[in-house]
């Protein structure tokens, strides 16, 4: 019993010492952030396709900036786009990037920015170029938005890239660009549009050297158009210039979808020169990528585009414009060979097929996005 009492007394004394020590040192206040598990919300998935009203579509090109690295420039470009669009809903973004930054991050930045602003997410295509017309600039955004009022009561004319090339990659590009713009002018006129109704012009060039004459020519010909100039590859295999355009049409709509191939405008097989759209709506898709370099990989990319159309009750006959971004001549030939298995051979869409520097996946062979009509 004595031993037991001593043990109890010792235990009581130890407890008292611990209590006093605890009273002497103030308890550390727990940080709420330490108690809660920090979970970063993943960016929301961008849509594969978005519908817009044909007559209300507005077109933007963001200004170039050389400040900061890629992420900062993308954020600045999105801020500039927000100022341009104001209350208009952005439906589609085509991001042309230069430099060696992580292209996959761009998609996340777009998702995060639109989510933070509580805006509907746009569909997106991300293309790596050989350069942009400002030293240090790494991004330029083309965007299509839906306005509050009718912009083009007669519909829209989508004009294919008027490609002019020379086998020598060192040949000056300015004379080629002049020929391309001359052909573009013929196409715009054939579509029934006037120069002041051209809404956007994009020129794909193998070099940006001596760009100013081309810029002045385009600005003089199309004073209201949003203009974009991109170098397609760092080391092109040939000298190239190809300008494409979208023009608004006045007056009454002249049909749901018509394709034009004016005399004197040479075009590649499997592609129309002009798509005249009078349908009430347009389906704008983001880019579908061919993951791999075999024919089966290419067919899977086309099948994904086909699936996007089918989900809206559309088919190949409803495609108005198709833009291809192959990364090599081999992939370009593959696209030309396969696309007619998916397109309406009698009435292929207008569009562009231009070699580019890269895409957001390292194992990508090419990408494609399309514009389709819907009543």
* Helix, strand or coil, per DSSP, at residue 281: strand
What residue segments make up the domains of the chain, in order of their start?
Answer: 43-150, 279-375
Q: Cα–Cα–Cα angle for 98, 216, 138, nearest 5°?
A: 10
From first to last of its 375 residues, the chain has per-residue pLDDT tens of: 434 444 444 444 344 333 334 444 444 444 444 444 444 566 789 999 999 999 999 999 999 999 999 999 999 999 999 999 999 999 999 999 998 778 889 999 999 999 999 999 999 999 999 999 999 999 999 999 999 999 999 999 999 999 999 999 999 999 999 999 999 999 999 999 999 999 999 999 999 999 999 999 999 999 999 999 999 999 999 999 999 999 999 887 778 999 999 998 987 889 999 999 999 999 999 999 999 999 999 999 999 999 999 999 999 999 999 999 999 999 999 999 999 999 998 999 999 999 999 998 889 999 999 999 999
CATH class of the domain comprising 43-150: alpha beta
Question: Which single residue is written with the structure tokens 């420039």?
Answer: 73
Tell me, what DSSP letter sits at residue 47? Answer: P
Do 128 and 359 touch, CB atoms closer than 8 A? Answer: yes
The terminus-to-terminus CA distance of the chain in angstroms comes to: 98
Structure tokens belonging to residue 283? 């389906």
Helical axes 212-221 vs 174-190, angle rounded to 10°: 10
Query: Distance between CA atoms of 217 and 205, rounded to whole angstroms?
Result: 15
Query: Distance between CA atoms of 20 and 29, rounded to whole angstroms?
Result: 19
CATH number 3.30.1330.40 is the correct assignment for the domain at 279-375: yes
What φ, ψ does residue 328 adopt, rounded to 5°?
A: -160, 165
Question: Which single residue is written with the structure tokens 């006037």?
Answer: 194
């Amino acid at each position: 019993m004595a031993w037991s009492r001593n043990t109890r007394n010792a235990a009581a004394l130890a407890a008292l010492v611990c209590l006093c020590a605890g009273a002497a040192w103030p308890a550390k206040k727990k940080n709420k952030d330490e108690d809660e598990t920090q979970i970063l919300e993943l960016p929301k998935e961008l849509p594969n396709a978005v519908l817009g009203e044909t007559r209300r579509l507005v077109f933007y090109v963001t200004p170039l900036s050389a400040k900061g690295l890629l992420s900062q420039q993308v954020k600045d470009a999105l801020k500039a786009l927000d100022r341009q669009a104001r209350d208009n809903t952005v439906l589609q973004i085509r991001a042309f990037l230069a430099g060696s930054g992580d292209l996959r991050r761009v998609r996340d930045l777009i998702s995060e920015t639109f989510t933070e602003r509580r805006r509907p997410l746009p569909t997106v295509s991300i293309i790596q170029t050989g350069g942009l017309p400002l030293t240090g600039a790494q991004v330029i955004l083309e965007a299509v938005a839906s306005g509050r009022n009718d912009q083009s009561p007669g519909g829209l004319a989508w004009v294919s890239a008027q490609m002019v090339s020379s086998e020598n990659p060192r040949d000056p590009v300015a004379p080629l660009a002049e020929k391309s713009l001359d052909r573009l002018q013929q196409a715009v006129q054939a579509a029934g549009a006037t120069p002041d109704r051209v809404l956007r012009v994009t020129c794909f060039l193998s070099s940006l050297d001596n760009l100013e004459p081309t810029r002045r020519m385009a600005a003089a010909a199309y004073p209201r158009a949003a203009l974009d100039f991109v170098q397609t590859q760092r080391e092109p295999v040939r000298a190239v210039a190809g300008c494409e355009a979208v023009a608004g049409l006045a007056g009454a709509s002249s049909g749901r979808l018509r394709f034009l191939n004016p005399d004197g405008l040479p075009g590649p097989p499997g592609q129309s020169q002009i798509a005249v759209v009078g349908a009430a709506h347009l389906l704008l898709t983001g880019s579908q990528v061919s993951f791999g370099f075999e024919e089966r990989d290419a067919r899977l990319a086309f099948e994904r585009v086909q699936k996007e159309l089918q989900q809206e009750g559309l088919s190949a006959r409803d495609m108005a414009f198709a833009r291809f971004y192959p990364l090599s001549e081999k992939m370009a030939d593959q696209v030309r060979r396969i696309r007619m298995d998916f397109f309406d051979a009698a009435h292929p869409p207008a569009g562009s097929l231009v070699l580019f520097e890269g895409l957001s996946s390292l194992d990508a062979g090419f990408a494609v996005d399309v514009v389709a009509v819907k009543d």
